[in-house]
């Protein structure tokens, strides 16, 4: 198995498990609080790694700017995704975000000059169709076609931002180590999330508060879930960056995008969620498209 594929799949496993935890947590204390809490834990871990490893901050303004940009993109990506998981079915939202791998392939070709075979182009098209089938609910005929829930809009935003994260990380790795990149990016993530929580907690916007109809968890359980999510995110990011250091961006990004597939399987198997038949077809198309893209 190619090393890039292996590291991408490893990241997918960590992130897929993370998604289930954060989806449930978002329904308990709100997506913004979960995002800020998880990213704060991630930032603390990366700062600790930074200090222990003896790493230094980049002196090149361009390098520092790339890491900071990654932090801004990441803040938007995670908040969009977790908000989608809070308001929409886990299966639908995760299925849509899984297509970020296909978009990463396209961006890798357009922006990074990587090669794409005709079969891989066909695979990207199939995956795109699969996303549409997964995101749409067909109730009573074609005229009744609608988005499967409000979480879909947030999923689309997350899809694009996660793809941009992959490209930005790949560019940043040309001049920095992953320790430098993620330490800067995650400190910015955590700062933005904390400020947003403090501001929105004083408003009526639902993202800053616990959902009124959400389940009740003990404080200990909430903290444990956030800490676990932060740890899984760190492991996924390290696996992802390690793959990008030696393998094509499209390969690592495509493999890592299978994380939501892990989320969907857990949601269907253990959380009682069910997919419509057309959405199963959509997921199958996404998988088939990814297989085509991965073939030489």
Strand (E) or helix (H) holding 29: helix 3-29
pLDDT, averaged in runs of 10, over the chain (296 residues): 82 87 81 84 96 92 93 88 75 74 86 83 78 58 49 85 94 94 93 80 56 73 92 95 91 80 73 75 80 74
The answer to whether 69 and 250 have CB atoms below 8 angstroms apart is: no
> At 137, is the secondary structure helix, strand, or coil?
strand
How many Å apart are CA 283 and CA 119, to the nearest integer?
19
Helix axes 90-97, 151-172, angle to 10 degrees: 30
Q: Give the pLDDT confidence score for residue 179 in this predicted structure.
A: 96
Q: Nearest to residue 184, comparing CAs of 21, 32, 55, 11?
A: 55
Q: Give the pLDDT confidence score for residue 276 in this predicted structure.
A: 75
How many Å apart are CA 91 and CA 198, to the nearest integer?
31
The answer to whether 285 and 129 have CB atoms below 8 angstroms apart is: yes
Q: Give the pLDDT confidence score for residue 216 in this predicted structure.
A: 75
**What pTM does this model have?**
0.81
Q: Considering its fold, how many domains does the chain have in total?
A: 1
Q: Give the pLDDT confidence score for residue 135 in this predicted structure.
A: 60
Q: Give the pLDDT confidence score for residue 166 in this predicted structure.
A: 93
Q: Give the pLDDT confidence score for residue 141 in this predicted structure.
A: 42
pLDDT in tens, 227-243: 999 999 999 999 999 99
Q: Give the pLDDT confidence score for residue 266 in this predicted structure.
A: 73
How many Å apart are CA 162 and CA 180, to the nearest integer?
20
Produce one character per residue of 175-184: b if its CB has 16 or more CB atoms within 10 Å, e if not.
ebbbbbbbbb
Q: Give the pLDDT confidence score for residue 289 in this predicted structure.
A: 78
Q: Give the pLDDT confidence score for residue 140 in this predicted structure.
A: 43
137 pairs with which residues across the strands? 146
Domain around 246: 3-294
How many Å apart are CA 251 and CA 9, to the nearest integer?
10
């Amino acid at each position: 198995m190619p090393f890039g594929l292996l590291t991408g799949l490893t990241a997918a496993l960590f992130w897929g498990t993370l998604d289930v935890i954060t989806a449930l947590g978002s329904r308990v204390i709100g997506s913004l609080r979960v995002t800020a809490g998880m990213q704060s834990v991630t930032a603390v871990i990366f700062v600790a790694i930074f200090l222990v490893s003896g790493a230094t901050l980049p002196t090149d303004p361009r390098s520092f700017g790339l890491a900071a940009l990654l932090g801004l993109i990441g803040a938007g990506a995670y908040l969009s995704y977790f908000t989608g998981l809070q308001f929409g079915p886990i299966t639908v939202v995760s299925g849509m975000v899984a297509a970020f791998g296909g978009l990463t392939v396209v961006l890798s070709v357009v922006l990074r000059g990587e090669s794409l075979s005709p079969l891989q182009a066909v695979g990207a098209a199939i995956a795109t169709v699969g996303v549409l089938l997964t995101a749409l609910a067909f109730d009573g005929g074609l005229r009744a076609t609608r988005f499967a829930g409000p979480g879909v809009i947030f999923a689309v935003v997350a899809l694009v931002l996660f793809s941009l994260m992959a490209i930005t990380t790949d560019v940043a790795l040309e001049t920095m180590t992953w320790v430098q990149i993620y330490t800067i990016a995650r400190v910015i993530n955590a700062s933005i999330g904390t400020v947003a929580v403090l501001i929105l907690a004083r408003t009526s916007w639902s993202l800053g508060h616990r959902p009124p109809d959400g389940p009740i968890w003990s404080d200990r359980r909430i903290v444990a879930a956030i800490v676990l999510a932060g740890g899984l995110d760190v492991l996924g990011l390290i696996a992802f960056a390690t793959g990008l250091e030696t393998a094509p961006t499209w390969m690592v990004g495509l493999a890592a995008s299978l994380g939501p597939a892990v989320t969907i399987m857990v949601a269907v198997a253990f959380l009682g969620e069910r997919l419509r038949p057309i959405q199963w077809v959509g997921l199958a198309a996404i998988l088939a498209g990814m297989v085509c893209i991965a073939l030489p």
